[in-house]
Amino acid sequence: MEKIIDIQSDKKEKFLAPFDNQQFPVLGAMSTLRRSEARAALDSIPLPHSRQETWKYTRTGKLINAVWNISHKANEVAIDDMKISGLDCYHLVFVNGHYSPTLSDNLTLETGLEVCPMSQCDGDKAAFADRLIQKNENSNAHLFNHFNSAYWTDGLLIKVDANTEIGKPIHIIHKTVGTNSASVFRHVLVAEKSSKVKVIQSFSNGGGSTYNNVLTEAWVAENAQVTIDKIQAENAEGITIAREDVRQESNSTFHINTITASGGFVRNDLAIVVDGENCMTNLYAAYAPQGKELVDNHTVVDHKKAHCESNEAYKGIVYDQATGVFNGKVFVRQDAQKTNAFQQNANILMSDSATMNSKPELEIYADDVKCSHGSTTGQFDEEAVFYLKARGISDKNARQMLVQAFVGDVLDELDDEVRAHVGSLLRF
């Protein structure tokens, strides 16, 4: 037994070593303390293995056993294909984990909106970000979330003033290129009282294997509305660990659409704490892993206060030898009476070698609630295919239509331009 632990800690040290001796942006005393706390946590938390509940179906060997280079600034990359055609939005671009001023729009965007790369925050902004960072941290953070807290190199601080509606979506583009290159992002999003903002995050990579670790912390204040569209379209060599830590105050709305079009290894953790009454929380996702890809979605919605509603719809189409994992958890605390929580996970397996592991969980401590969840996994309705074929539609087209209809209700949540963009990325 001890021998195994030795091997484990050896492995972990090798994995962490390249990240330890870096220059990190300094915001202030608090964030420096958070870094060292997170570094200590990395020492104490064991490497993921199948006996751990959060890693039961997901093997991380590919990530742990590789030797990662800290990405260097590389400005000469093409990102035009990541832009959403026809969509009027602000572009903010990160290449290999660093903010790229040449590829991004001017930082003075509009009144009531403050946007600043974390690496460039100074004065008031640095103090503001310093106060907020990791304040929200959830107790269920896993090894790679602590990894993010210890080693983040850049990200965006986005602050929306009270009573402000931001006219255009903010599109954050993450591009990582090179061989064995790793990028660690930390975004902080604050939507003050009665504000409204929409953020699009898109991810793409090029070259050899890449590792993106991105953590977004969001505060949704009273009566505010925040929408995040997350578009993941990396190649089979890409490894992504993403997490959203969200706190909602009363009367607020938080909406996230996670579209995983491709990616060798994708792990998404959503941790939403609903800490106010009359909140609305919507989590939608579509994923379509092919080849030997793996998509792992973990969500936690923690209802702490009464009269809230949450909707969750995760839809997956698993091809080839790919693997899909869904683990959704809804907590309804004792004070969260009159909660309506709905959770749905539907999957289609397209091949005999495809695997889907689904675990929709409910933990309920209040009695006057309506909570339900459903999970289905199956194959195509052959009768529906036959119906279409009988009307002169080819087998391939018929199946494509049915797949599109299947994920349609998730894609419908997107704006038209985003929907068209995502449609071109999904390889149905």
Partner 1 sequence: MSEEDKIIAEVTNKEYEYGFTTDIESDTAPPGINDDTIRFISAKKNEPAWLLEWRLQAFHAWQEMAEPEWAHVKYDKPDFQGISYYSAPKQKKELASLDELDPELRKTMDKLGISIDEQKRLSGVAVDFVIDSVSVATSFKEKLGELGIIFCSMSDAIQEHPELVRKYIGSVVPQKDNFYAALNSAVFTDGSFCYIPKGVRCPMELSTYFRINEKGTGQFERTLVIADEGSYVSYLEGCTAPQRDENQLHAAVVELVALDRAEIKYSTVQNWYPGDSKGKGGVFNFVTKRGICENHAKISWTQVETGSAVTWKYPSCILKGDHSIGEFYSVAVTNNYQQADTGTKMIHIGRNTKSTIISKGISAGQSQNSYRGLVQINKTATNARNFSQCDSLLMTDRCGAHTFPYIEVNNSTAKVEHEATTSKIGEDQIFYCLQRGIREEKAIALIVNGYAKEVLNKLPMEFAVEAQKLLAISLEGSVG
Task: For residue 337, state whether it binds partner 1 (rule: CB under 8 A).
Answer: yes
Round to whole Å and give the CA distance between 98 and 83: 18
Nearer to partner 1, 307 or 359 (CB): 359
Size (the chain), residues: 428
Interhelix angle for 143-151 vs 2-20, to 10°? Answer: 30
* Interface with partner 1 (CB under 8 A), residue from 141, 151, 347, 407: 347
Residue whose structure tokens are 């009476």: 337
Neighbours of 293 (CB within 10 A): 25
Nearer to partner 1, 286 or 369 (CB): 369
Nearer to partner 1, 124 or 352 (CB): 352
Window contacting partner 1 (CB under 8 A); options: 166-174, 298-306, 350-358, 398-406: 350-358
Nearer to partner 1, 124 or 382 (CB): 382
Helix (H, G, I), strand (E, B) or coil at 333: coil
Consecutive H or E run containing 64: helix 61-64
- Least separation in angstroms between CB 341 and partner 1: 9
Round to whole Å and give the CA distance between 311 and 255: 9
Round to whole Å and give the CA distance between 285 and 53: 22
Q: Residue 281: beta bridge partners?
A: 254, 310
Nearer to partner 1, 180 or 340 (CB): 340
- Token pair of 268, please? 């998404």
DSSP assignment string, 34-51 = HHHHHHHHHHHSPPP-TT
* Interface with partner 1 (CB under 8 A), residue from 53, 80, 122, 383: 53
Task: For residue 285, state whether it binds partner 1 (rule: CB under 8 A).
Answer: no
How big is the CA angle at 289 (ends 284 and 290), to the nearest 5 degrees?
155
Task: For residue 350, state whether it binds partner 1 (rule: CB under 8 A).
Answer: yes
Nearer to partner 1, 306 or 425 (CB): 306
* Interface with partner 1 (CB under 8 A), residue from 138, 235, 282, 355: 355
User: Torsions phi, psi of 348, nearest 5?
Assistant: -120, 130
User: Which residues, other chains included, contact 196 with Cβ-Cβ below 8 Å and sequence gap of 6+?
Assistant: 160, 164, 165, 166, 224, 225, 226
- Token pair of 27, please? 């915001």
For the window 358-377, what string marks contact with partner 1 as x by the rule CB under 8 A? Answer: xxxxxxxxxxxxxxxxxxxx
Nearest to 67 by CA among 181, 149, 173: 181
For the window 99-138, what string marks contact with partner 1 as x by the rule CB under 8 A? Answer: ----------------------------------------
Nearer to partner 1, 45 or 366 (CB): 366
Task: For residue 50, state whether it binds partner 1 (rule: CB under 8 A).
Answer: no
Task: For residue 351, state whether it binds partner 1 (rule: CB under 8 A).
Answer: yes
Give the footprint of partner 1 on residues 55-84 (CB under 8 A).
57
Task: For residue 349, state whether it binds partner 1 (rule: CB under 8 A).
Answer: yes
* Interface with partner 1 (CB under 8 A), residue from 378, 397, 404, 405: 378
Size of the site for partner 1 (CB under 8 A): 36
Window contacting partner 1 (CB under 8 A); options: 128-136, 170-178, 354-362, 395-403: 354-362
The residue ranges that bind partner 1 (CB under 8 A) are 53, 57, 334, 337, 347, 349-379
